[in-house]
Structure 1
């Protein structure tokens, strides 16, 4: 996998070997670059699960390239109550909350202190599941290769919650694929999956959006529209010839 090349390498060697031109134009371009990195891994027909909202247009390009079904795996960040943008944990549908225990300790928090926040995030997670899938369950992943996709990795909290929830569902092979991620976050996530594909892992990482020229915020309608397009494409591709 591409990230393997960074093991035991110096920062200068990693940067010298970088072959991805950043920033990406947009999530579509990033998805096409990522799809080409995934294509040699023997993942044809894999279930492709996007972390909405930003992961959906990236995953759309991957599902087209791998000729696999596209769906979403909904996650929610669990924020520090006085500063909600600071994620202290995350939850994915079908999984248990995953907390940053070190950060909780530094903030003097316990999991019980976050009970109300967790309840609110579960409610929003359920709302989004209903909005995106209308009550339809996740695709069957047991015994199948699964590719989890997001548009980038900053702290990696939601990605960790996602892959742990999926691991419990027994995939034959669990792959995490993102176009760009903070180098240290990528290293920490590597043991969580069977394959980790990250074409670019800059050391000077501040936010996912800095690595895209066009990083518009997406809406629920954007997510639903892309999922519907993927469904129509799959139906067309698999129809009578």
Structure 2
């Protein structure tokens, strides 16, 4: 069953209506970023900062920053994954130590306090490694009183995005905008109240959702590709 959309999504969520519930929209992440750059045209040559969420969000964020002539940085976050399934996450950790946990999932999976502690520590170590690798000696951009545009390649549950939002709020962002090529409607409605604006080209409902279905060319982005993209903006 596909959830029905209103003619205009409620509140601060902006999409492309003709792309709702469609799959195979984007050639690749670069193409998705170009589509989002058109949706974000009002931010061109402003003091906004584009933050890509590695790894997959950075190839989307790069063409947005290039087209809009904005600074590009990274918001390093990591899923906290199940001990027996490293693809499934029950929470996320941000670069500043901010943690978000899915308490319902923790209860359903029977995770112990020790499981959560070990999972959080593992995610934190990954963040420290990535933060150093991607940023090298580059200082974190001063966010105070500046808009921050958080970009990922899609939103399935919203936990990764929410932890990144909270971290950037703590860093002093004046305004937070979320920009993603594709997302599940339920996840967007969890994220939207926490930010000022949400831009999503391809909003989908229904029971089954996979970010990859929005793309023709989908692959796992490695850390080396992320580092190469960021170096071009230094």
Fold match (TM-score > 0.5): yes
1:147 alignment partner, SS class: strand
RMSD: 2.3
Q: Which has the higher contact order (CA 8 A, sep 6+)?
A: 2
Q: Which residue is equivalent to 1:29?
A: 31
For each residue in 1:34-72, what CA deviation from the matched residue of structure 2 results, as whole angstroms up to 9, or x when unmatched? 010011357723111100111111101111122111011
Q: Which residue is equivalent to 2:231?
A: 228
Residues 97-136 of structure 1 mapped to structure 2, 5 A cutoff:
97-136=99-138
Contact 1:79 1:86 in 2 (8 A): yes
Structure 1 stretch displaced more, 38-47 or 154-163:
38-47
For residues 83 and 226 of structure 1, what CA distance do their matches in structure 2 show? 29
Q: Which has the higher strand share?
A: 2
Contact 1:95 1:161 in 2 (8 A): no
For residues 47 and 186 of structure 1, what CA distance do their matches in structure 2 show? 21
Structure 1 stretch displaced more, 89-98 or 200-209:
200-209
Q: Which residue is equivalent to 1:234?
A: none
Q: Which residue is equivalent to 2:151?
A: 149
**TM-score with structure 2 length normalisation?**
0.87
Pick closer, same or farther for the CA change 1:226–1:29 going to 2, 3 Å.
same
TM superposition shift of 1:96: 1.7
Q: Which residue is equivalent to 1:6?
A: 9
Structure 1 stretch displaced more, 142-151 or 38-47:
38-47
Q: Which residue is equivalent to 2:196?
A: 194
**TM-score with structure 1 length normalisation?**
0.85
Q: Which residue is equivalent to 2:89?
A: 87
1:199 alignment partner, SS class: strand
Which of 33, 44, 47 in structure 1 is aligned with 2:49? 47
Contact 1:43 1:145 in 2 (8 A): no
Q: Which residue is equivalent to 1:71?
A: 73
